[in-house]
Amino acid sequence: MNSCVHCGVHYHVPDSGTIHIALLDRVLSYTNHTELVTILEKLSHNRIGEIILNTASFNVSRLLSIVHNYKDIQFIQSGKMMSYLQPIITLEDHEIYGYESLLRSNEKDYQLRPGHLFSLANDIGLHSRLDQRAREEAIKARSKVIPNGTKSFINFLPSTIYNPDFCLQHTFSLVEKYAINPQDLIFEVVETERIDDVPHLLSVLKRYKQEGMKVALDDVGAGFATLDVLSALQPDYVKIDRGYITNCHLDTEKQKFLHKVKKLSLDLGFKTLAEGVETKEEYTFCKELGLDLAQGYYIQKPQPPDFFKSH
């Protein structure tokens, strides 16, 4: 029997040269996260430490990530969440068409970083939990302040829905619970992951549509949802990545792309939505091009639901 000098964990080295040890209970028993990080960082530079951790079905970098981000993990599991709302307007007459729901923290001492949170959740296997909780907050926020007939754009991660009939039942139950008209709901494919499995995504979108809901592809043009994918998935809405909207009135390459999307929208019958509109010039160009909808700071920053009760 041997002992690691860094953390005092005992291990046995059989004749084969492999190391077998149950380290997980030891790791999870630590309440002093600073001390645990120090130990793990030392182990990461120690060959025996690497073998110990990897034999316990962990690698050093993954375990360090879990410890460094333990507050984020706690928030995913049981933190107080809420949805902010950002208006989406019609470009033709500047009327409110709907609102996108954006996940935010409802805890004073926790600063939520959505991109980091969803990436972490995916790395540690909590993306289904986070995705479901975020959808629930979005539906609850809608029920409080958004009138019937006004659309709600709600994000979802396709990889969390391995069986549409089973995994989406929670969402459909919430829609029924809060007496929301399914036709007012638009579910967006969030582009934090590549659309590699088109048949699976088609089955998910079909299940939403069977309930009377609409679907959107987010961040089109950002390298994920290509124009070819649009033809295959037949979305009801296409949200154009802000990278193609910023200074679109000055950039001829961006203008060519936007014209291409607009033409495709006429061919396939989907509505176009310009994301990240921040200036009058961008707004005017998108309107003159004939895009259908827009959102961004030029129109309104995301706000808590109560803000819209008085507006």
Question: Beta strands 81-90 and 96-105: pairing type?
Answer: antiparallel
Q: At what angle do helices 60-68 and 70-78 cross, to 10 degrees?
A: 70
In a domain, 140, yes or no: yes
**Same structural domain for residues 30 and 177?**
no
Q: How far apart are CA 178 and CA 46, in angstroms?
A: 55
Per-residue model confidence (pLDDT) at position 190: 76
Residue 304: which CATH number? 3.20.20.450
Report, as an integer, the average pLDDT of 170-179: 93
Containing 244, the helix (H) or strand (E) segment is none
Amino acid identity, residue 1? Answer: M
**Same structural domain for residues 36 and 144?**
no
In a domain, 75, yes or no: no
Compare 181 and 30 and report the one with higher pLDDT. Answer: 181
In a domain, 110, yes or no: yes
Look at residues 68, 90, 117 and tell me which one is the last residue of a structural domain.
68
Work out how many domains the chain is built from and give that number.
2
In a domain, 74, yes or no: no
Identify the band that residue 55 occupies on the pLDDT scale cut at 50, 70 and 90: very low
In a domain, 73, yes or no: no
Identify the band that residue 126 occupies on the pLDDT scale cut at 50, 70 and 90: confident
Q: Which of 92-101, 140-149, 192-201 has the least mean pLDDT?
A: 192-201
Question: Which of the residue ranges 20-24, 67-71, 88-92, 134-138 has the most confident prediction, judged by mean pLDDT?
Answer: 88-92
Q: What is the mean pLDDT of the chain?
A: 81
Per-residue model confidence (pLDDT) at position 36: 61
**Same structural domain for residues 112 and 149?**
yes
User: Does residue 222 have a pLDDT over 90?
Assistant: no
**Same structural domain for residues 54 and 124?**
no
Residue with tokens 């649009």: 230
Contacts of 144 (CB under 8 A, 6+ apart): 305
Per-residue model confidence (pLDDT) at position 3: 40
Per-residue model confidence (pLDDT) at position 62: 65
**Same structural domain for residues 109 and 168?**
yes
User: Residue 172 in 3-state DSSP?
Assistant: helix
Amino acid identity, residue 148? Answer: N
Look at residues 46, 68, 90 and tell me which one is the last residue of a structural domain.
68
In a domain, 42, yes or no: yes
Per-residue model confidence (pLDDT) at position 63: 66
**Same structural domain for residues 62 and 88?**
no
260-288 confidence digits (pLDDT tens): 999 999 999 999 999 999 999 999 999 99
Report, as an integer, the average pLDDT of 239-252: 95
Task: Give the residue numbers spanning the domain of 21.
Answer: 2-68
User: Does residue 81 have a pLDDT over 80?
Assistant: yes
**Same structural domain for residues 297 and 232?**
yes
Look at residues 45, 68, 91 and tell me which one is the last residue of a structural domain.
68
Buried/exposed 124-151: b ≥16 CB within 10 Å, e otherwise: eebbbebbbbbbbbbbbbbbebbeeeeb
**Same structural domain for residues 263 and 135?**
yes
Q: Are 107 and 79 in contact (CB under 8 A)?
A: yes
**Same structural domain for residues 91 and 61?**
no
Per-residue model confidence (pLDDT) at position 14: 37
User: Does residue 169 have a pLDDT over 80?
Assistant: yes
**Same structural domain for residues 98 and 150?**
yes
**Same structural domain for residues 63 and 91?**
no
Identify the band that residue 209 occupies on the pLDDT scale cut at 50, 70 and 90: very high
User: Does residue 2 have a pLDDT over 80?
Assistant: no
Compare 59 and 125 and report the one with higher pLDDT. Answer: 125
**Same structural domain for residues 191 and 273?**
yes
Identify the band that residue 227 occupies on the pLDDT scale cut at 50, 70 and 90: low
User: Does residue 115 have a pLDDT over 70?
Assistant: yes
Q: Which two tokens stand for residue 90?
A: 């019609």
